[in-house]
Each structure stands twice: as structure tokens, then as C-alpha cells.
């Protein structure tokens, strides 16, 4: 970057934005607003191809109309909202690079108001929330969600509600199941009320993640970055809060643990608490453990010469392992049974689907080995070039960059990915300065979002026959090719570039 590191935590720009920068910023915020209106309208219209019916008294939250919108209308709304929202974020990112600034706090407030509005409307995009409610009801009524399926207790009004995965026990961690049980205790035999309580849990986790990012930011530019990357990000608001996905529950403790481990004071006690938080997130979703690799790597490199590093590393590992072990011991060893099954799955909208269609012998083994090798190379490549924030301790900056490299490599290389998984990447990348990898993640989330229009089975969703090309062509063909190109670009960029210099922290 000519002239050295830019002021106020951005690449490029200067003391103030010119007309082009201001115009891009205003256009970007307008695009985000239009996108959110599209998503909110889809939820408000009520049951549709994007929104399964919620059994339960109509006077209970969440609330919506019963307009029975056309599949073409809601798919068009979500597709348009996705493209316009992504374009709005892109415009804001480019405007910030040109020196554009706007107060972050109003954006945070607006984002949380939109999140609250989503919470009071039924989830859209998939039917996963019906599975969450079902597993919670199992636990609340004495059934084991790790051995029981919805089809086993089909006569229960909540357990029998799922429209997909009816013959599959829970694949979620014990802490996620505990949250589902709490929601079931509050919701009783009403699917509607149970889903609403699950939404409140997601809203709290989403807001907590945004608060952590906002408070961690060191200056005005960093706070603006946190708002755009998380709290006011229309794609995340749609998937994490509007879609009701429990990945956001793991994001909050995972991020809190990483931030705690990468502060400069506290020693082993801080590392232990950070490990506990990362372990807590891991007991919700296993990939949350990846962020622990950042601080663990930086500590491991110092263990021979630094006794404090040895103690901190031991404390980090002890805190995370003890938390995860306790959670799974309490849930029973069978709670990990579905993890092996899930590890063999290949989703349609990933680069590995292009390998799966070849029907080669030993496909699962090839994919398992292949994606692990690709991920290892990608982690090394990304860790070299991801920007390091300036701060009092270079090692802590490296820890955040390595954690981001691990998460991004998993998102790009894993054989099973869904758009809401990208929440992990947005949260961790928001801790780093602006870079081209923001655009990489934006393209990744946008492509996956367009792949799942909607993320429901065509039969239960009543997808018209003339829209099945969204699955057979877009999800199974176009998007895997695009994501393969993104993966190749990330590898090429990381392997050919020189290691990046440190930049001002967000």
C-alpha cells in the first residue's frame, strides 16, 4: 500500500471521502435498507415456500400475515434482497476504502431493531427451527434427542412437527440441546411459542456478538467495520435471526473466547477462561473449536523459551477440553454418534459436489482426505497474507489472523456447507483490518444464499415443477463452479503473495 498504513484503520482513503466515496456509501446503505425490506416482507407475508406453517395458537408469537404469497413472489424477493444486500455491502466496503465515514452506533441500533422484528415473525428460509423445537421437546419430556427421532414420537405435537430429517437424531452439541430444552419448557406443546423462545435466544446471541465486536474496536473506523460486517449485515440478519439458525449461539462464546485469549493481560487465568468460552461454543457447534487454534499456535511457538507461554497454553487447552468433555459426559457418549455420519455428507452447493457426480470408487474416502489436505494448505496460505492489526502485542495480532485463517479455510474447503455457517467467518474476520478477503467472504455467502432458494425440500415446500431448476441447475451446478473458483482464488492469492504487513486494528 503506497504511503504506508492508512489512518483510522482503513486501506486507502485519506482524511475524508470525496464525492465518489460519499456516493458509494449512501448507495450502499440504501441497498442494505432495500435488502432488509425484502427479507422482512417475506417473513411478514406468512406461510410460503420460504416459511413452513407453525402449529400453535395464533395469538402466540411469532406473528405474521396469512397472505399465502406466490412461490415466485417470495423467491424473487429473497433473490433480489440477496443481490441488492450484497451489492450494498460491497459499495460500503469500497466507500470506506475511499475514506467514507458514518457513525456506527445508529447502524447498530437499526440492525438490532431489524433483528428484533425478525424475532417476532416466523423464521424463513428453511425448516431447521422445527427440528430444534422437536429435539428440545424430546429432552423436556424425558426422551433422549441423541437416540430418538421425530418419527419415533410422531403423535407428539412438537416432536412430530419437523418436515425434514424426521428419521435423524440430533447432531447438535449438548449446550445447544440444553437451550432447546429451555425453549421447550417455555413453549410447552406449542410449536409456535417454542420457536419464538428459540428466536429470543438467537437474538440475544446475535446482539452479544455485535456488542463484543463493537467494544473490541479501537477507533471509529473499527466500530463502523463491526456494524457493517455483523450487526447491520443484511445477509447475516436474514440467515442468523430471520432464519432462526442456532449457529449464532456458538458464535458469541467462540468470539468472546478468542478476544479474551488475544488480550495482552491476564496470563494463564485469562487463557483458561478463554478456553472455557471456546469450549462452550464447541459444545454447541464443533467447528467453533477452530478459533482456539489461533492463540494455541502463537503460544506453542513460544513454549521452549517462555514459561508463561507454557502455562497459558496448558490453561487454554485445559479450559476448552474440560468444558467440552463435561458437556458430552453429561449428555452421554452417544451424543457424538451423529457426528461421524455428518462428516460423510457432501452438500450440493460445494466444490466437492463436482467430484461426487463422477461416482468414483471410494468417493467418501477421497473427499475426506482431499478436503483435509486442501484445508491444511489453505490455512497456511491464508495465515501468511491475512492482515494483522496493530496493537501492543504482535503475537496476539497473529493469533487472530491464524484463527481467521482456520475458519475461512474450513468454510471454503469443507464438503458440507450452508450459508449460515459463514457467520463464524464474518465474526472472526471482523476483528481484522479491511482486506480483499472481506470481498471473498461476501462472494461466498452471497453464492450460498442464492443456492438455497429456499433451503427446504421441494416436496414439503411445494416448490413448483418449473422452479426445480433452482436445485438441479443453480444449487448443483452453477454455485459449485463459482465456489470452486473462489477456493482457487484464495489458494492462488495466499500462495503467491508475500506475507502482509501489520495494519491499524479495527
Dist CA 162 CA 171 (whole Å): 15
Range 206-213 average pLDDT:
98
* Torsion, Cα of 309, 313, 314, 320 (10° steps): 160
Q: What is the largest CA-CA distance in the chain?
A: 69
* pLDDT tier, 500 (very low <50, low <70, confident <90, very high otherwise): low
pLDDT of residue 308: 86
* Model pLDDT for residues 219-268, shown as the tens digit of each residue: 999 999 999 999 999 999 999 999 999 999 999 999 999 999 998 666 89
Dist CA 91 CA 69 (whole Å): 31
Residues 181-206 as b or e (16 or more Cβ within 10 Å = b): bbbbebbeebbbbbbbbbbebbbebb
Range 317-333 average pLDDT:
94
Contact 187, 195 (CB under 8 A): yes
Contact 403, 295 (CB under 8 A): yes
pLDDT of residue 264: 67
389: part of which helix (H) or strand (E)? strand 388-389
pLDDT of residue 265: 63
Average per-residue pLDDT in the chain? 92
* pLDDT tier, 418 (very low <50, low <70, confident <90, very high otherwise): very high
133: part of which helix (H) or strand (E)? helix 128-140
Dist CA 472 CA 479 (whole Å): 11
Sign, Cα dihedral of 297, 435, 352, 377: negative
Range 17-39 average pLDDT:
93
* Model pLDDT for residues 329-360, shown as the tens digit of each residue: 999 878 888 877 777 899 999 999 999 988 88
Contact 269, 317 (CB under 8 A): no
Model pTM score: 0.94
* Model pLDDT for residues 75-111, shown as the tens digit of each residue: 999 999 999 999 999 999 999 999 999 999 999 999 9
Q: Which stretches within 98-246 are classed as H helix?
A: 104-119, 128-140, 174-187, 191-216, 220-226, 234-236
Range 153-158 average pLDDT:
96
Range 36-65 average pLDDT:
96
Dist CA 382 CA 387 (whole Å): 10
- List the helix and strand counts (H, then E) for the chain: 21, 2
Radius of gyration of the chain (CA): 22
Residue with cell 449446550: 175
Q: Is 492 exposed, middle or buried (0-12, 13-18, 19+ CB in 10 A)?
A: exposed
Task: Give the three-class secondary structure for 388.
Answer: strand
Distances from the Cα of 457 to the Cαs of 49, 125, 194, 474, in angstroms? Answer: 10, 11, 23, 15
Distances from the Cα of 14 to the Cαs of 100, 343, 439, in angstroms? Answer: 9, 47, 21
Range 2-19 average pLDDT:
43
* Model pLDDT for residues 446-497, shown as the tens digit of each residue: 999 999 999 999 999 999 999 999 999 999 999 999 999 999 999 999 998 7
pLDDT of residue 504: 52
Q: Which stretches within 227-289 are classed as H helix?
A: 234-236, 247-261, 267-282
pLDDT of residue 14: 38
* Model pLDDT for residues 386-398, shown as the tens digit of each residue: 998 776 478 788 9
pLDDT of residue 249: 98
Amino acid at each position: 500500500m503506497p504511503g504506508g498504513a492508512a489512518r483510522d484503520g482503513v486501506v486507502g482513503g485519506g482524511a475524508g471521502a470525496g464525492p465518489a466515496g460519499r456516493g458509494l456509501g449512501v448507495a450502499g446503505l440504501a441497498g442494505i435498507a432495500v435488502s432488509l425490506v425484502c427479507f422482512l416482507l417475506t417473513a411478514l407475508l406468512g406461510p410460503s415456500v420460504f416459511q413452513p406453517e407453525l402449529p400453535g395458537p395464533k395469538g402466540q408469537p411469532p406473528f405474521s400475515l396469512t397472505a399465502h404469497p406466490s412461490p415466485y413472489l417470495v423467491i424473487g424477493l429473497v433473490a433480489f434482497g440477496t443481490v441488492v444486500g450484497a451489492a450494498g455491502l460491497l459499495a460500503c466496503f469500497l466507500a470506506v476504502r475511499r475514506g467514507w465515514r458514518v457513525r456506527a452506533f445508529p447502524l447498530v441500533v437499526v440492525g438490532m431493531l431489524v433483528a428484533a422484528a425478525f424475532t417476532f415473525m416466523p423464521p424463513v428460509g428453511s425448516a431447521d427451527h422445527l427440528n430444534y423445537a422437536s429435539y428440545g421437546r424430546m429432552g423436556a419430556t424425558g426422551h433422549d434427542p441423541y437416540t430418538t427421532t421425530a418419527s419415533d414420537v410422531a403423535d407428539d405435537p412438537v416432536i412430530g412437527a419437523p418436515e425434514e430429517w424426521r428419521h435423524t437424531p440430533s447432531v447438535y452439541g449438548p449446550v445447544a440441546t440444553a437451550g432447546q430444552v429451555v425453549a421447550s419448557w417455555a413453549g410447552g406443546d406449542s410449536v409456535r411459542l417454542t420457536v419464538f423462545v428459540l428466536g429470543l435466544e438467537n437474538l440475544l446471541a446475535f446482539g452479544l456478538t455485535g456488542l463484543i465486536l463493537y467494544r473490541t474496536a479501537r477507533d471509529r473506523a473499527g466500530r463502523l467495520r463491526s456494524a457493517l460486517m455483523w450487526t447491520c449485515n443484511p445477509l447475516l440478519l436474514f440467515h442468523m435471526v430471520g432464519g432462526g439458525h442456532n449457529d449464532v449461539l456458538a458464535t458469541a462464546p467462540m468470539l468472546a473466547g478468542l478476544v479474551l485469549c488475544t488480550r495482552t493481560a491476564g496470563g494463564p487465568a485469562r487463557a483458561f477462561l478463554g478456553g472455557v468460552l471456546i469450549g462452550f461454543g464447541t459444545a454447541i457447534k464443533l467447528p467453533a473449536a477452530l478459533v482456539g487454534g489461533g492463540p494455541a499456535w502463537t503460544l506453542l511457538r513460544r513454549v521452549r523459551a517462555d514459561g508463561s507461554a507454557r502455562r497459558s497454553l496448558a490453561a487454554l487447552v485445559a479450559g476448552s477440553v474440560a468444558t467440552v468433555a463435561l458437556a458430552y459426559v453429561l449428555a452421554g457418549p452417544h451424543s457424538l454418534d451423529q457426528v461421524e455420519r455428518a462428516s460423510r455428507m457432501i452438500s450440493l452447493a460445494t466444490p466437492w459436489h463436482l467430484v461426487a457426480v463422477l461416482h468414483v470408487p471410494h468417493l467418501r474416502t477421497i473427499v475426506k482426505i482431499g478436503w483435509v489436505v486442501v484445508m491444511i494448505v489453505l490455512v497456511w496460505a491464508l495465515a501468511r497474507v491475512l492482515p494483522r492489526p496493530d496493537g501492543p502485542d504482535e503475537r496476539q495480532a497473529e493469533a487472530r489472523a491464524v484463527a481467521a485463517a482456520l475458519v475461512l479455510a474450513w468454510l471454503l474447503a469443507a464438503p458440507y456447507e450452508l450459508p449460515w455457517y459463514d457467520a463464524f467467518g464474518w465474526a472472526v474476520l471482523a476483528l481484522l483490518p479491511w482486506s480483499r478477503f472481506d470481498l471473498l467472504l461476501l462472494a461466498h455467502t452471497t453464492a450460498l444464499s442464492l443456492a438455497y432458494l429456499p433451503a427446504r425440500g421441494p416436496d414439503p415446500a411445494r416448490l413448483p415443477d418449473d422452479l426445480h431448476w433452482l436445485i438441479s441447475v443453480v444449487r448443483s451446478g452453477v454455485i459449485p463452479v463459482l465456489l470452486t473458483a473462489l477456493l482457487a482464488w484464495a489458494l492462488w492469492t495466499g500462495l503467491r503473495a508475500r506475507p502482509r504487513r501489520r495494519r491499524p486494528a479495527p
